[in-house]
């Protein structure tokens, strides 16, 4: 089994990846800024501004999964130096540390590097971001290619479903992307409340949803094969926001009449354009990693089992 360091382990995606890698028998080490005693994984306090400190922290690690981001989008917009360093600068330091220790660098990226004009974008698409967040993620991808040429995997994700594994509640209920969309919808409808699907303007309308636990399982496959290049760890189906809402109702046995569409609240609009169709093709990824079908219905069913059992559910199993 591998020893794997994870940045951003306290976040939604990072905590789910850590849970699955642990379930699969790997040793997980969280790289954190401050002491944490409330997490089920061993963590090391690291100075993320120091390449030498990062290098020391990942001693004997087979891989480093870099998930850490800044979620303070207002500050990203108004403090460009902070924005650049939080994404590109930090990725550069993590990449240098990974190369120094011959660790496989796995960078978790996003469908928002795309401009939203192409349906089911291929893994070879380098992107054309329409906002600062997408630009910073695309720049960070290039840092990985430049600094860890033969030992990097760029894993793009989209429309991530799931529950936070390191916090009691999600940091937000819905946004102009697909973040926390399904979890919030299920909570609301189970309580008999209506749910407003934002649109049709100023939102990311189409994507290829994935499940956070399944992303963790597919990252395990990337690490086990020490795969290099771009990978799209997404579901097979491209859907609209309303499509996703109604599919969730079907799988979770919820009342679809409680769903309606409404404009994005003024205070929730993104401070820049957002990609309209950020769907990603996963055909090359499936071939290279030997992955099976991951339909939207299967992913939603796995998420329902997670909520019922409080255990991670994955379609992809460990590669022995």
Residue 145 has pLDDT above 90, yes or no: yes
pLDDT one-digit tens code per residue, 193-227: 999 999 999 999 999 999 999 999 999 999 999 99
Query: Could you identify the residue written with the tokens 């349906």?
Result: 119
The Cα–Cα gap between 67 and 6 comes to: 7
**Closest to 210 measured CA to CA, from 238, 245, 243, 169:** 238
Instruction: Show the domains of the chain with their CATH numbers.
Output: 3-309 (3.40.50.720)
Is it true that the peptide bond before 200 is cis, omega within 30 degrees of 0?
yes
pLDDT one-digit tens code per residue, 32-74: 999 887 889 999 999 999 999 999 999 999 999 999 998 887 7
The Cα–Cα gap between 277 and 265 comes to: 21
The DSSP 8-state label assigned to residue 128 in this structure reads -
CA distances, 106 to each of 147, 222, 229, 277, 290 (Å): 13, 8, 10, 25, 18
The Cα–Cα gap between 179 and 182 comes to: 8
The Cα–Cα gap between 317 and 315 comes to: 6
pTM over cut 0.85: yes
* Exposure string over 300-311, b if 16+ CB within 10 A, otherwise e: bbbbbebeeeee
**Can you give the pLDDT at residue 174?**
84
The Cα–Cα gap between 133 and 129 comes to: 8
């Amino acid at each position: 089994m591998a020893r794997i360091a994870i940045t951003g382990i306290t976040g939604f995606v990072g905590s789910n990846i850590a849970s699955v890698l642990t379930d699969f028998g790997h040793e997980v080490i969280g790289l954190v800024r401050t002491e944490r005693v409330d997490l089920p994984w061993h963590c090391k306090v690291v100075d993320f501004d120091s390449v030498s400190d990062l290098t020391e922290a990942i001693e004997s690690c087979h891989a480093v999964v870099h998930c850490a981001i800044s979620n303070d989008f207002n500050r990203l917009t108004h403090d460009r130096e902070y924005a650049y360093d939080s994404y590109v600068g930090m990725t550069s330091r993590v990449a240098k540390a990974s190369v120094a220790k011959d660790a496989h660098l796995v960078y978790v990226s996003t469908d928002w590097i795309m401009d939203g004009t192409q349906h089911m974008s291929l893994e070879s698409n380098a992107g054309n971001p329409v906002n600062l967040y997408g630009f910073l993620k695309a720049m960070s991808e290039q840092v990985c290619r430049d600094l860890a040429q033969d030992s990097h995997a760029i894993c793009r994700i989209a429309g991530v479903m799931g529950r936070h594994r390191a916090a009691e509640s999600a940091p937000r209920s819905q946004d102009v992307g697909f973040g926390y969309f399904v979890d919030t919808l299920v909570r609301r409808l189970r309580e008999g409340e209506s749910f407003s699907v934002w649109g049709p303007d100023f939102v990311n309308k189409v994507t290829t949803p994935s499940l956070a636990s399944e992303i963790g399982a597919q990252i395990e496959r990337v690490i086990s094969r020490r795969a290099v290049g771009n990978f799209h760890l997404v579901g097979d189906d491209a859907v609209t926001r309303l499509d996703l809402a109604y599919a969730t109702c079907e799988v979770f046995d919820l009342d679809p009449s409680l769903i309606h569409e409404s404009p994005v609240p003024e205070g929730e609009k993104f401070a820049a354009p957002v990609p309209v169709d950020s769907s990603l093709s996963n055909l090359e990824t499936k071939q290279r990693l030997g992955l099976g079908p991951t339909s939207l219905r299967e992913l939603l069913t796995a998420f329902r089992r997670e909520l019922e059992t409080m255990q991670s559910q994955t379609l992809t199993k460990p590669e022995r």
